[in-house]
Amino acid sequence: MKKVSRSKVVYTFSPRHNPAERVKAGEEILLELEDAFGGQVKDEKTAIENLDWTKVNGVTGPVFIEDAEPGDTLAVQIVDVKLANRGVIAVIPKQGVLKDRPFKAKVKVVPISGGYVHFGKAKVKVNPMIGTIGVAPENGEHPTGTLGRHGGNMDVKEITRGATLYLPVFAKGALFAAGDLHAVQADGEACVSAVEVSGEVTLTFNILKGKNVSWPILETKDCYAVLTCGDSLDEACSWAVEEVVKALMQEHKWSFEEAYMFTSLVVDLKINQVVDPKKGVRAVIPKKYVSIESFCHAGFRH
Amino acid sequence: MKKVSRSKVVYTFSPRHNPAERVKAGEEILLELEDAFGGQVKDEKTAIENLDWTKVNGVTGPVFIEDAEPGDTLAVQIVDVKLANRGVIAVIPKQGVLKDRPFKAKVKVVPISGGYVHFGKAKVKVNPMIGTIGVAPENGEHPTGTLGRHGGNMDVKEITRGATLYLPVFAKGALFAAGDLHAVQADGEACVSAVEVSGEVTLTFNILKGKNVSWPILETKDCYAVLTCGDSLDEACSWAVEEVVKALMQEHKWSFEEAYMFTSLVVDLKINQVVDPKKGVRAVIPKKYVSIESFCHAGFRH
């Protein structure tokens, strides 16, 4: 199996990066991931405000997928996620949902063992997930701390072993990369960090030729989720609902009005994170009501 | 069992309403509920824009609970929810998440049978829930279409059989009322209506004397949820996180910083509805991490 070392790290999603590795559709690849703090937090005495902030939110890659071209969709299958045995959580003044409250910077190092994160006397079941995952955008450099139609720092807790993530391809070879592993994170990521941890992920890629999605689509066992973002949660919700309504119209040959009604009954609008410059939500719909094909279209439509 | 007819309807939560019925703690009561359109939608030819809008969003009550006084908490146990066999869904121009898109008013009448709502050829499993539920505020009149610390049009899909809702008491007797039954509604209530239906609910009340909650708290089998609102989802999230952080500090004797960190790991921020003048969210925390007592305080603290 091909392997990309954690030393192959970039801090933006960009069509200008040189590939760290090349794979074909169906070929397994393992990426080593550093934690979101770039491994700089050695212990609880580390002053979080003195980190080298040019070395945070790194993603391993990019991986060039043979035959992936602009206008295709890249299907990323998450075969496995393995975690190190210690994680780091931090609160940082002026960050998170309660950024307007006065509080101090604090770092906590937590052991991960037996399938649990040990937070003092409290135990929290591990859910290994990939916080940042995406492809190169069409132009420019997207910092890995943000998110968009190319993916990025989406912080979706279902991006884990067994899931498939569909991403629009904007650049030749897609230039895929991932980072920001979390041992556990709740919807919202309220304090701005989760249990940040290093580890490794095993992936395979497939290509839906000539089919395009407008936003990242996540497939889990029972559901599809449209992953959108906006300057507010409210704006992100409107993008997500619009995309689901279009898919339901295509799937069932319903009018806009019927699809809009049905969305109100079966599509859960969920919060991913509310603490990054762009807020992220997902619109979740059971697979029995829609197929991935109904989210796809020929060429770009946004 | 005492029973309140659907003719005993009010359109505001207010300390000035005369009680429709009186009950003691522990006594069962049945409320008949009209649907949110006040039963005015007779068939799919009904012009939704011509409804008498002074007759929508009615709630049955109010019920005076003996011995409930300002500064107490009212615990409402939802013993049963029964639905009629037809529901109504409507889309209304300039309403819902996609209010800026052009579309037409439309009404759909759906049969409810065998535990399913039948939407054309699509079947959706029924989840009978109470959309509007609350008590009188301290002052003034709160229209039943809105929500606040007194409850109201919260549209939380877990407010259903078996759940307990804790509400702060502001007026003598609490003056409880409920309405806006939904046969099924997804988180977000994207198009502004769910499957609106008439029916009846059976409830009992208990009083936590001298203990006060700042926001409605919902208890389900495994979790507590703080139900907040704001002018945006983002604002509602900050109220919800603040309340959970306070409860975790009280429960575990943690610092603000530790409680804020833990919230990021175990508290899911979920969307209730994003389509009313005030947006509603819930912060959901497993019961194993907090007790209802930690959400309570003596006297008002907001």
What was the ipTM of the complex prediction? Answer: 0.97
A191-207 pLDDT, tens digit each: 999 999 999 999 999 99
A·B CB contacts under 8 A: 199
Helix (H, G, I), strand (E, B), or coil: what is residue A183?
coil
Q: Which single residue is written with the structure tokens 């973002």?
A: A229
Whether A97 has its CB under 8 Å from any CB of chain B: the answer is yes
Name the percent of chain A lying above pLDDT 70.
Answer: 98
On the question of pLDDT at A230 being above 70, the answer is yes
Nearest to A265 by CA among B112, B50, B153: B112
CB contact under 8 A, B262 and A96: no
What is the Cα–Cα distance from B211 to B72, expressed in whole angstroms? 5
Read off the pLDDT band of B302 (50, 70, 90).
Answer: very low
Structure tokens at B175: 């003056």
Predicted local distance difference test score (pLDDT) of residue A299:
55
Mean pLDDT of chain B: 96
Read off the pLDDT band of B19 (50, 70, 90).
Answer: very high
Whether A260 has its CB under 8 Å from any CB of chain B: the answer is yes
Mean pLDDT of chain A: 96
How far is B194 from chain A, CA to nearest CA, in Å?
6
CB contact under 8 A, B267 and A193: no
Q: Which single residue is written with the structure tokens 């089919």?
A: A211
CB contact under 8 A, A261 and B96: no
What is the Cα–Cα distance from A69 to B173, expressed in whole angstroms? 67
How far is A225 from chain B, CA to nearest CA, in Å?
13
Nearest Cα residue in chain A from B105: A257
Interfacial B residues in 161-190 facing A (CB < 8 Å): 184-190
Interfacial A residues in 269-288 facing B (CB < 8 Å): 269-271, 274, 279, 281, 283
Predicted local distance difference test score (pLDDT) of residue B116:
98
Whether B298 has its CB under 8 Å from any CB of chain A: the answer is no
Nearest to A156 by CA among A287, A37, A274, A292: A274
On the question of pLDDT at A290 being above 50, the answer is yes
Contact A227, B58 (CB under 8 A): no
- Nearest by CB: A186 against B195, B264, B281: B264
Q: Enumerate the H helices of chain A as residue ranges.
A: 233-252, 256-266
Contact B199, B82 (CB under 8 A): yes
Interface test with A, best of B49, B123, B265 (most A CBs within 10 A): B265
B190-223 pLDDT, tens digit each: 999 999 999 999 999 999 999 999 999 999 999 9
So where are chain B's domains? 2-213, 217-298
Q: Give kind and range of the element (H or E) at residue B2.
A: strand B2-4
pLDDT, mean of residues B135-156? 97
Read off the pLDDT band of A15 (50, 70, 90).
Answer: very high
Contact B73, B135 (CB under 8 A): no
How far is A102 from chain B, CA to nearest CA, in Å?
10
Read off the pLDDT band of B250 (50, 70, 90).
Answer: very high
Whether B248 has its CB under 8 Å from any CB of chain A: the answer is no
pLDDT, mean of residues A26-33? 98
DSSP A117: E
On the question of pLDDT at A269 being above 80, the answer is yes
Q: Which single residue is written with the structure tokens 């004397």?
A: B209
Q: Count how many Cα atoms sit within 13 Å of the Cα of residue A23 in the half-sphere of its side chain.
A: 27
Name the percent of chain B lying above pLDDT 90.
Answer: 97
Q: Which residues in B lie closer than 8 A to residue A120 (C-beta atoms)?
A: 252, 254, 258
Across A155-262, the runs of DSSP E, i.e. the strands, are 164-168, 176-182, 199-208, 217-219, 223-230
Nearest Cα residue in chain A from B237: A97
pLDDT, mean of residues B139-167? 97
On the question of pLDDT at B300 being above 70, the answer is no
Predicted local distance difference test score (pLDDT) of residue B297:
84
pLDDT, mean of residues A19-26? 98
On the question of pLDDT at A260 being above 60, the answer is yes
Read off the pLDDT band of A49 (50, 70, 90).
Answer: confident
CB contact under 8 A, B122 and A192: no
Class of domain A2-213: mainly beta
Name the percent of chain B lying above pLDDT 70.
Answer: 98
Read off the pLDDT band of B267 (50, 70, 90).
Answer: very high
What is the Cα–Cα distance from A228 to A248, expressed in whole angstroms? 17
CB contact under 8 A, A237 and B233: yes
B269-283 pLDDT, tens digit each: 999 999 988 999 999
Paired with A111 in beta bridges are: A86
Is 3.10.28.20 the CATH number for A217-298? yes
Predicted local distance difference test score (pLDDT) of residue B166:
98
CB contact under 8 A, B190 and A269: yes
On the question of pLDDT at B299 being above 80, the answer is no
Predicted local distance difference test score (pLDDT) of residue A297:
84
On the question of pLDDT at A285 being above 60, the answer is yes
Please tell me whether the peptide bond between B111 and the residue prior to it is cis, using omega within 30 degrees of 0.
no
Whether A117 has its CB under 8 Å from any CB of chain B: the answer is yes
- Nearest by CB: A257 against B104, B268, B283: B104
Nearby residues of B94 by Cβ (< 8 Å), 6 or more positions away: none
Interface test with A, best of B264, B273, B275, B276 (most A CBs within 10 A): B264
- Nearest by CB: A186 against B190, B191, B266: B266
